[in-house]
Structure 1
Amino acid sequence: MLKTSSLQVVVLMALLIVNVSCREQSTKPVADDSAYFPLEVGNYWIYQVTTKTYVTANAPLTQVYQLQQKVSSSYTQNGQLVFVIDESTRQTDRSPWKLKSLHTVYKNRLEVVDQDNNAPVVRLAFPVSAALSWNTNLYNANPLVLLRYQDAGRPFSVGKLNFDDTVSVLGTNDSTLVSQEKYLRVYARSAGCVYREDRSLAFCQASSDCLGSGVIESGTVATWELIASDRLP
């Protein structure tokens, strides 16, 4: 049987081990989820954009071009750092960039808010979790649209680019006999948005023969694939 002094030593050692373990856990760095949406003046992202427009059951009208988003400047408003994004397009690598539009973006510990067509939309909400969903139209008058996370921490490849740590943001993802709607964004840690896809299609339902056949009658499919950025390793 342990003497009182020996028992005290054992208890003190046990408490010391627990205390050290707790300190190690508390000092372990927590991943910064806002790194999925990096924002610094000078950052740029170039995407290969492919848009397919369906107007009849014939082959779609396909447009392929490049789009650049560049953080051109920043300013402070009500204590919040706001970044100005220049959006430009060109047909090929050799074509000059043509400024298409400007919009602003800001982020904080809770969210990323993008001023899209004069309507603020919540692109991301933090922390990143499969259990989290949010209304992208929280700060505007448009109808409620919920976004959610999927596949956090998964690798993802687009073209020749490979990313070890990405997260997908899903919105509407419905497919029926008569229509298909899809909203998908893929963000890579420290790189930003590397892929996006929007689908809004109506399928043929003119007769019982084409109903459920998957023949597209009208709508659009747009994909963005990252091809260059100063954020790439």
Structure 2
Amino acid sequence: MFKKHNLWFFFLLFFLGLCEGCRQMNHEPTPDDAAFFPLQVGDYWVYQVTQEKYLAIKSSLKSSYQFQEKIKSSYLQNGQLFYLVEESTRQTEQSAWKLTGIHTVYKSLSEVVSQENNVPMIELVFPILLTTSWNSNLYNTRPDTKLQYQNQGKAYRRGPLGFDRTISVMGDNDSTLVNQSKYFRIYAPNIGLVYREDVAVAFCQSSSDCIGKGIIESGATMKWELIASNRLLNTTK
């Protein structure tokens, strides 16, 4: 009887060990994951944006301006808390902000979803793991767009701002003889998006003189760099 009791005891320990292993394999999201996309009414982020639009071969239009996102309010819908984000632009720090758009965003235990022009897109998924990838267009009719995490925990510095720990999100990053595309984001905990880069250009194919030489014929490139936020005032960089 004693031996049988010990046998059941060991089975119990083995079963509990399996349960613990399953729990760890589930990689439950932690508050630290959610901190990479903070949301609170009153939060704002200001970015210096540089953009270049290619109109023809060796002809482009460059522009630089500031872009602000500010959370104005929140509301409950079907038990989910949504945040209303105002988008504004201005040419310089001395210019007045001009409202250019409004979008919504929500954060659940599993993902962050933003919706612009009634098109929902998955920005982040939880938990944050380098093995994680997702389709950002899962909730809309656009072509599938795969995103994945990179550079987990990597320090990032650009200009006067530096962050000891970040996570990057990489999408398309392809370059062929015909075109080049890139989707890249960097997030810092308790601050949010600190850098963004988008590239979608087509290379010249009209003559043998330009084919294969990386000469851009059309498209655009855009970079966002965080320069101000209420969260920078309360966060150790």
Length-normalised TM-score, structure 2: 0.84
Compute the displacement of 1:172 (Å): 0.9
In the TM superposition, what is the alpha-carbon distance from 1:187 to its structure 2 partner?
A: 0.6
- 1:151-197 deviation per Cα after TM superposition (whole angstroms, max 9, x unaligned): 01101112211011111111111101111000111111111000101
Partner SS, residue 137 of structure 1:
coil
Give RMSD over aligned pairs. 1.6
- Quick check: 1:66 aligned with 2:85? no
Partner of 2:79: 79
Instruction: State the partner residue of 2:194.
Output: 194
- Stretches of structure 2 that go unaligned for 5 or more consecutive residues are 1-19, 25-29
- Residue 149 of structure 1 corresponds to which residue in structure 2? 149
Name the amino acid aligned to 1:119. V
Is the Cα–Cα contact under 8 Å of residues 83 and 106 in structure 2 kept in the other structure? Answer: yes
Work out which of the two has the higher radius of gyration on C-alpha atoms and give 1 or 2: 1
User: Partners of 1:110 and 1:158 in 2: how far apart?
Assistant: 30
Partners of 1:142 and 1:215 in 2: CA distance: 29
Give the CA deviation at 1:31. Answer: 5.4
What is the rounded CA distance, in whole Å, between the counterparts of 1:113 and 1:51 in structure 2?
Answer: 25
> What are the within-5 Å matches in structure 2 for residues 190-229 of structure 1?
190-229=190-229
Q: Is 1:161 aligned with 2:161? A: yes
Q: Corresponding residue for 1:117?
A: 117
Structure 1 residue 212 displacement after superposition: 1.4
The one-character-per-residue Cα deviations of 1:135-165 (angstroms, maximum 9, x if unpaired) are 1111111111111000011011122110111
CA shift for structure 1 position 62: 0.6
- In structure 2, what is the Cα distance between the partners aligned to 1:156 and 1:121? 25
Structure 2 partner of 1:46: 46
Unaligned 5+ runs, structure 1 = 1-21
- Number of residues paired by the alignment? 207
Deviation at residue 206 of structure 1 after TM alignment: 2.0
Distance in 1 between residues matched to 2:202 and 2:142, nearest whole Å: 23
